Amino acid sequence: MSAFNTKLYQSPALKQEMKINPRLYQAMELLYMPLLDLQQHLKTEMAENPFLEMSEADVEDEVEIDEEGQEEKEDEMDWEEILLDGFEVGGRKQQYEHKEYFQPTAVASVDLQDHLAEQLRHLPLSEREMRIGEEVIGNVDDDGSLSCGLEQVLAGVNDWLDEARAVARDRISALREEDPIEWEREVRKLDEMFVPYTMDEAEAILQVIQRFDPPGVGGRDLRETILIQLRDVQDSMVWQIVEEHFEDLINHRWSDIAKARGITPRAVQDAADEISKLDPKPGLKHSAEPDHYVIPDLVVEEIDGEYMVFVNDTNLPRLRLSQSYREVARDKNQFKGENKEFISSKLNSANWMIQAIEQRRQTMLKVMNYIVDRQRAFFDKGVQHLKPLTLREVAEHIDMHESTVSRVTNEKYVQTPRGVYSLKYFFSSGLSTATGEDISARGVKAKIQKLVDDEDALKPLTDQTIVNLLKADGVKIARRTVAKYRDQLGILPARMRKRV
């Protein structure tokens, strides 16, 4: 007999727990949405809720509904109080009517594979050559290089050939019993027709494709891509350096190349300068990657020496309660049965949506206004004066949760006098300065970039020299940090930047 009692018991207990109303989740989603997504969302809401319509007025009359038409309050968290905490009426719409933004329309383009296939079709090639040519083109990456070896190309086209032969033999299988001699004759024809491709055929068709536009397409590695573009100057010093000294070339070992070729290091560097003008990824100019256009959610303008923040919502539907349905809501006789439930639900939903959109707008303005105040030096002087900023710092200042600030800044962009930036751009870690102030890591990178841009090419700055220059400018930074930032900026080490 079991020692455990498995019976079920009921007992009363008191406990506290927090439940979030579904509308709070929707409010958080509204904060998270970029401008285009929000526009589509509001259009959907207007289509589903008859109490919502577009408004051209700035101040809407309040809806007066008899107490008999009000929905009974539920014993749950007061979502309106939470959502509208600190609610303030926004500015008038006329403030923004002079700002218009138009999204550019992308023009359809032909991708690299289509561009190469079109050139292939214009050549007087046999069906067999055409087939292996299509196989080669199908293995060319978007950057223009061959993504695999010719062995794999050959295996792929021969697999297709085997499948085609099998299908053809199935079609004549009935002859095997009816006329065995004719069947054998047809089989021999098929075997002659579907002869496996050879490496020589693959190499020959690759050579043809490597003469296509854009120059350099079809290279199996960077070296071959460069050599294809130098095809017309095969007797030149530039060609010979790429052909015979490629490893030394990419590592900027000018002296080693000069010694091997019997020329001066300056002549090697001049040749390297010519090589640097060639395209290492020629296919990208025909890339099918679409352009990504950004519509700023916020606008910062300098007016009389002050930076003013506006919400770019001129194309956003301005919602109000529908006049016709407000009349329905006032009619006490309508508040019966299903009508009462429908009217109360849709009316409450419409009121909530209008308030939630305004609260979203006010929250975005609070966040951006603090960013402008904190990063005033950036707007005045540029990225080198960007200060460190965290989501927590903004959240504490505007008295909201850090996750709310994160949602507000997600995929949001601002148009400023210095260009269009993601709101995330203004947030970064920082370093200390000699004066006790902080400077953003992005600002330090800008300083490093400027130092390298202005350096003497004959005596490029080493990482330690950059550390010393930044220290003299008041920035405390370690050499390994400079090396890390330099690498992130794509700047080569000093020995590889040196000119002779």
Place of tokens 């903004």: 394
Split into its structural domains, the chain has a count of: 4
Top-confidence residue, 376 or 94: 376
pLDDT of residue 3: 59
Mean pLDDT of 81-94: 40
pLDDT at 100: 46
If asked whether residues 439 and 419 sit together in one domain, one would say: no
Last residue of a domain, one of 153, 180, 214: 214
In a domain? residue 451? yes
Q: What is the mean pLDDT of residues 180-201?
A: 80
Q: What is the pLDDT of residue 220?
A: 93
Give domain status of residue 90, yes or no.
no
Helix (H, G, I), strand (E, B) or coil at 320: strand
**Joined tokens for residue 82:** 């939470």
Supply the range of the domain harboring residue 283: 221-287
**Average pLDDT score over residue span 299-307:** 91
pLDDT digits (tens, 9 = 90+) for 228-241: 999 988 888 999 99
Assess whether 253 and 299 both reside in one domain: no
pLDDT in the model for residue 18: 52
Please tell me whether residues 353 and 442 are part of one structural domain. Answer: no
pLDDT confidence band for 476 (50 / 70 / 90): confident
In a domain, 310, yes or no: yes
Are 298 and 394 part of one and the same domain?
yes
- b/e burial code for range 270-284 (CB count within 10 A of at least 16 → b): ebbeebeebbbbbbe
d(CA 455, CA 489): 16
* Domain membership flag for residue 337: yes
Asked whether residue 72 is domain-assigned, the answer is no
Asked if residue 131 is part of any domain, the answer here is yes
Residue pLDDT, tens place only, 30-65? 777 877 788 888 888 888 887 777 765 443 444 444
Q: Which of 235, 267, 287 is the C-terminal boundary of a domain?
A: 287
Q: Mean pLDDT throughout 146-173?
A: 85
For residue 204, is it within any domain?
A: yes
Confidence at 96, pLDDT banded by 50, 70, 90: very low
Q: What pLDDT score was predicted for residue 299?
A: 93
Residues 155 and 257 in one domain: no
Q: Are residues 176 and 230 in the same domain?
A: no
Mention every residue, 6+ apart, whose C-beta is less than 8 A from residue 361.
90, 311, 313
Residue 222 scores a pLDDT above 90: yes
We report the CATH number of the domain holding residue 459 as 1.10.10.60
